[in-house]
Chain A
């Protein structure tokens, strides 16, 4: 099948790739751009492990085609820490609160939580739970994830 040339911006840098029109954005990120931090847990939009931001909107990258990235701005887990490597408060709090066990859901949860705090800096427990309802975690029972998000939100509000 003829491949299509796509130019996009990923984590602040210009990226170019050739993609089969059937390939998902997740495939392209993982297999062509080497950004394997986004995970595939289902490929059907049910688990959130592949969560990324496209033009600031939280999406499941397994449900977006690679060709749709043309001209867009994409943020993945690899772009979450600042360029010097200092962790985002959410990343720090996830480690401190032991909010990950196997860690496979973690990139998607972090990307989704960041999107939540961008629009709601002071979410309630219920708001956090409903926002993250699209991110499956089989290990933690979500308790420590919710606490880590609450704590990161508090720190970010304090710092603002």
Chain B
């Protein structure tokens, strides 16, 4: 039976048991990044540039070092030189060299016997700056007169004559766009802009690091991926990766923003300088907003050609995205690849520019690049559907990519469920809800690749027949539960008999982070493979005891059984019996799986939103929200719904409230939650979800990965709903009340 034909009939998969870490997390016992202490521990504080762009002329730490309780100060001089590529990038961002490149860029760090003393000491470190001209807007950074942020970093792809802030050019496409546009009945072209937003995890970055003079150390840190922390810290500090043992704390949200380092090497460098005493470093919210994350800001041209019946004949995009003052951080490639991935379009052209600006080094944020692309493309599609009086969902259905479609970014799709999401949206009762005055409905779709990534899992049978699984992907939203469900399903034991632990770097081979929607897909797939190995060994043990061939034994419902009448008549030998005597039958029984799993299943989602706009204030209220997304298979549906709802809430925030506001001085104006306003409970309605299940043939239970797609459709869906409610089309985000009010007046 091909695995993609597996249709239900599961004992555990698809149920909603309590998560194993639930009790710890509702009682305050779970330990996050800042919740741990070590004997003889010091506390650190970081000195940050108040300027968007400035030459560092002098750093004088003498007054700080004279303060009682201060044990060490580090600057860039305490780090090795000669790094290249991304390692150099990481070091540059960890601590500025000659030049501070953005408001909030770390310049020095201090360790002291208490957090208060460390903060006092940081204020005593005197830094002399020479202020340089700066630029924070992506289009302004490309203009001929823009200040140069880093000269000589443009790669060979950049067309001649462009500003040095343009460091990469990408183009790809297929078909004859000229002929495609010529065949269209309607051609429209507009420019769209999105501001940078922050991942906004509620837990600030925090770590406790220790590093001795012998180059050996350890770190406790909130991260999505501790092997990444290990590799990056080792590179930035010039130590050996295997000498740094990194243990992940529970993680208070990441959304992509905790897949890299920001201040972790500072804690280690301070520890080394303070005689190896452990150093705890916890960021404030303002530091998080000024110096971590955020996502890129984007300026995007889109052109689409459509026939009267809604068939898209050709499309072209030109995207410009800045990812801060560092090379390789702008997700412009992903944005281009996602732009038309939902559709089967005969002629496409994509062009994009990566641009430097005096902003923090962008980090991944949930489906990096996809939300911006969706905003531009899905907004224009909606405008054209309105102009041609076509139903926007049916136009998407008409052009939808299917199994076998050559995707806009190259490969042909395996089995995918985009059409199914559109059909489920069309059938949903929210689509029939009546709309009143000042109310409007918007729809939009989006795509995300999903990801396999380096994965290493180990599994061991206990003496009582319970099973322990060691994974390297931190559990951000219930992955322990989903992995336990899959292992328990396969082995045929109870959910509670499987314990999934997220283990430190010393315990497994390299694991990529929990990113790319991969934890349940990749660690889950590897855990099932590891379970297969353990099952095979348990069958061998039973066969040896029964004196028959291992091939004559099969595994059924948690026990080894003779496979058919010729194998002999033996009662089933349960996992508990096998575990109890394994010491005498050959020793411990375990399974391992290490791979970069293939078979990643692409993800598609379609959202429908109803809004009401207050004509007096321009404030948009979300009345109803529907997320439809193909999960492949929902292992633990409650946590799948949770990913859909959480993604939608972040997208709604991006559409309506959230933005990085830079002043004329290049300083971030809103580095507190009061002003960087993420959605609160009273901003949102219940978020309805439909889990479409078109199983991914590349996973034993059909999993695709569900974490990321859901953030992209809200941006255009809300803009489309606002346009329907008011007649005003906002082509830049956020759709803040004053901006919308002005647009309503001028429409």
A residues sitting closer than 8 Å to B (CB atoms) are: 20, 22-23, 27, 30-31, 35-44, 46-47, 49, 76-78, 80-81, 87, 91-92, 94-98, 100-107, 110, 125-126, 128-130, 132-146
Contact = CB atoms under 8 A, between A and B. Distances in A.
A144 B642 CA distance: 8
Contact of A141 (B204, B284, B478, B649): B649
Contacts of A142: 649, 679, 681, 684
B681 A128 contact: yes
B646 A140 contact: yes
6 cross-chain pairs, A with B, having the tightest CB-CB distances, nearest first: A37-B28, A104-B252, A103-B25, A141-B649, A141-B645, A98-B638
Contact of B116 (A20, A42, A44, A110): A20
Interface stretch (B6-14, B16-24, B53-61, B693-701): B16-24
B678 to A, nearest CB: 6
Contacts of A98: 16, 19, 478, 636, 638-639, 641-642
Nearest to A125: B686
How many interface residues does chain B have, given as a range?
Answer: 35 or more
A15 B22 CA distance: 28
Contacts of A146: 681, 686
Interface stretch (B31-39, B404-412, B426-434): B31-39
Given A27-B115, A140-B649, 7 more contacts: A43-B285, A77-B27, A98-B641, A101-B646, A107-B26, A126-B682, A133-B681
B222 to A, nearest CB: 9
Contacts of B681: 128-130, 132-133, 135, 137, 142, 145-146
Main secondary structure of the interface of B (DSSP, over half): loop
Interface of B: 16, 18-19, 21-23, 25-32, 34-35, 114-116, 199-204, 250-255, 282, 284-285, 476-478, 636, 638-639, 641-643, 645-646, 648-650, 672-674, 678-684, 686-687
25 contacts: A30-B35, A37-B27, A37-B28, A38-B28, A40-B34, A41-B673, A46-B674, A91-B27, A95-B23, A95-B26, A97-B638, A102-B254, A102-B476, A104-B252, A107-B26, A126-B682, A129-B682, A130-B682, A136-B673, A138-B199, A138-B201, A138-B255, A141-B687, A143-B641, A146-B681
A27 B114 CA distance: 12
Contacts of A47: 202, 285, 673
Contacts of A130: 681-682
A35 B641 CA distance: 32
B681 to A, nearest CB: 4
B284 to A, nearest CB: 6
The listed residue with most A CB atoms (<10 A of its CB), out of B25, B28, B252, B636, is B28
Given A37-B28, A104-B252, A129-B682, A22 B116 contact: yes
Nearest to A76: B28
Contact of B29 (A27, A37, A128, A144): A37
Nearest to A27: B115
Contacts of B686: 125, 143, 146
Contacts of A134: 680
Contact of B27 (A20, A40, A81, A139): A81
A138 B681 CA distance: 10
B639 A101 contact: yes
A32 to B, nearest CB: 11
A52 to B, nearest CB: 11
Given A37-B28, A95-B26, A101 B476 contact: yes
A76 B251 CA distance: 21
Nearest to B476: A102
Contacts of A100: 22, 25-26
Given A44-B673, A77-B27, A98-B478, A138 B650 contact: yes
The listed residue with most B CB atoms (<10 A of its CB), out of A76, A94, A95, A141, is A141
B204 A41 contact: yes
Contacts of B35: 30, 36
B630 to A, nearest CB: 19
A144 B202 contact: no
